[in-house]
């Protein structure tokens, strides 16, 4: 069952943290090839996302690793290539740099180098985002780096329903998927279908708020900021879309919205240069350039590492006011 309209399904209200854990748990119950590796996973993992799973499934299915992202992902690639479905947790996505060979050259290319004879059904959880004054090496948003790599799927949910549905799809995928979680929205709550067959297809965007005047494509934390900005702008009808999947990207849904509104804002908590903003704008403009009524606007982080100082961090991390001002510039 795909996500479809949530209003047509029986739902329960849960947090993003619980939605992720529920998705993992259901897939572990359904397939004994699914297992978890990561730092402190036997104690619930980073931000307690996998709390309770070690008690339920034991050491064979949930186990700690050394603090070595290269070893974690390398072991995951090997396990996936030999028939398992590992779920590897990178507690802070900033450190994905030390395992880039395993991600880019092994996970992403194995299927192609062996003519499709070998699959790598690996899921990597990568926790990212600023807002906790955790300094530069624990606050970055790096999903553009991974979404750029051929052979890798990249997803970044902004709602509990997307968090659960995409986790289940990622674990079931026969290709490697990097699942990006924004650490500041684990407590965001929303409706999630109770059907254990519920999934969100990778590559399908969601229109979270219908509107007529301007389209805002917003990811992760900025999805909530975009909805807040839309509520504050009483005289502007704002359509808010969560792309959910960064690669593959649902260009059709984004372009159809632009054809309706004629105006576009892209809000993503990553550096503005050479990143997801530019990719979304380019894809949409290729299909709907002649429908544009105003210059496209981008909301993101300046090209700087995230500062440790709380006041300086607040200065560079975008919020609803930034999204609201970008919307106003298009009108």
CA terminus-to-terminus distance, the chain: 39
Active-site annotation holder among 27, 128, 138, 277: 138
Task: Outline where DSSP puts E strands in 137-253.
Answer: 153-155, 177-182, 189-193, 206-209, 214-218, 238-242, 245-247
Residue 41: active-site member: no
Residue 138: active-site member: yes
- What are the φ and ψ backbone dihedral angles of 265, each rounded to 5 degrees? -125, 135
H, E, C per residue of 23-35: HHHHHHHHCCCEE
HSE-up of residue 278 (Cα within 13 Å, Cβ side): 10
Token pair 């897939």 is found at 27
Token pair 């309209």 is found at 5
The count of other CB atoms within 10 Å of the CB of residue 89 is 25
Tell me the two tokens of residue 12: 């329960």
Measured CA to CA, the distance from residue 87 to residue 107 in angstroms comes to: 13
Residues whose CB falls within 8 Å of the CB of residue 289, separated by 6 or more in sequence, listed in order: none
Active-site annotation holder among 69, 208, 269, 279: 69
Q: What share of the chain is helix, strand, coil (3-state, %, to 5)?
A: 45, 20, 35
The answer to whether residues 163 and 133 touch, using CB atoms and an 8 Å cutoff, is no
Tell me the two tokens of residue 7: 């209003």
Cα–Cα nearest to 219, from 260, 262, 275, 149: 275
Tell me the two tokens of residue 203: 């590559």
The answer to whether residues 251 and 217 touch, using CB atoms and an 8 Å cutoff, is no
CA of 3: how far to CAs of 156, 230, 309, in Å? 16, 24, 40
Measured CA to CA, the distance from residue 199 to residue 162 in angstroms comes to: 8
Active site residues: 69, 138
């Amino acid at each position: 069952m795909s996500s479809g309209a949530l209003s047509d399904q029986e739902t329960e209200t849960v947090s993003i943290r619980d939605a992720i854990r529920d998705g993992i748990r259901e897939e572990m119950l359904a397939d004994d090839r699914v297992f978890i590796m990561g730092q402190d996973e036997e104690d619930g993992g980073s931000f307690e996302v996998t709390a309770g799973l070690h008690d339920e499934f034991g050491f064979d299915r949930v186990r700690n690793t050394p603090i070595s992202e290269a070893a974690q992902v390398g072991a995951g690639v090997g396990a996936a290539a030999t028939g398992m479905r590992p779920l590897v947790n990178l507690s802070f996505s900033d450190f994905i740099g030390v395992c880039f060979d395993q991600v880019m050259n092994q996970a992403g290319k194995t299927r192609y180098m062996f003519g499709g004879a070998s699959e790598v059904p690996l899921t990597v959880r990568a926790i990212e985002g600023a807002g906790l004054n955790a300094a530069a090496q624990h606050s970055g948003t790096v999903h553009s780096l991974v979404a750029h790599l051929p052979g890798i799927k990249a997803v970044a949910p902004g709602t509990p329903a997307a968090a659960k549905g995409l986790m289940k799809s990622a674990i079931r995928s026969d290709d490697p998927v990097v699942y990006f979680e924004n650490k500041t929205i684990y407590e965001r709550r929303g409706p999630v279908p109770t059907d254990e067959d519920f999934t969100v297809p990778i590559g399908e965007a969601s229109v979270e708020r219908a509107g007529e005047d301007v389209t805002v494509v917003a990811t992760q934390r900025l999805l909530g900021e975009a909805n807040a900005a839309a509520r504050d702008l009483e005289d502007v009808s704002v359509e808010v879309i969560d792309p959910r999947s960064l690669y593959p990207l649902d260009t059709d849904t984004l372009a159809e919205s632009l054809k309706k509104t004629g105006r576009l804002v892209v809000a993503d908590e990553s550096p503005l240069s050479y990143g997801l903003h530019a990719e979304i704008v380019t894809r949409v403009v290729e299909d709907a350039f002649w429908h544009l009524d105003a210059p496209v606007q981008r909301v993101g982080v300046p090209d700087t590492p995230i500062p440790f100082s709380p006041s300086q961090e607040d200065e560079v991390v975008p919020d609803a006011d930034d999204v609201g001002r970008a919307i106003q510039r298009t009108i």
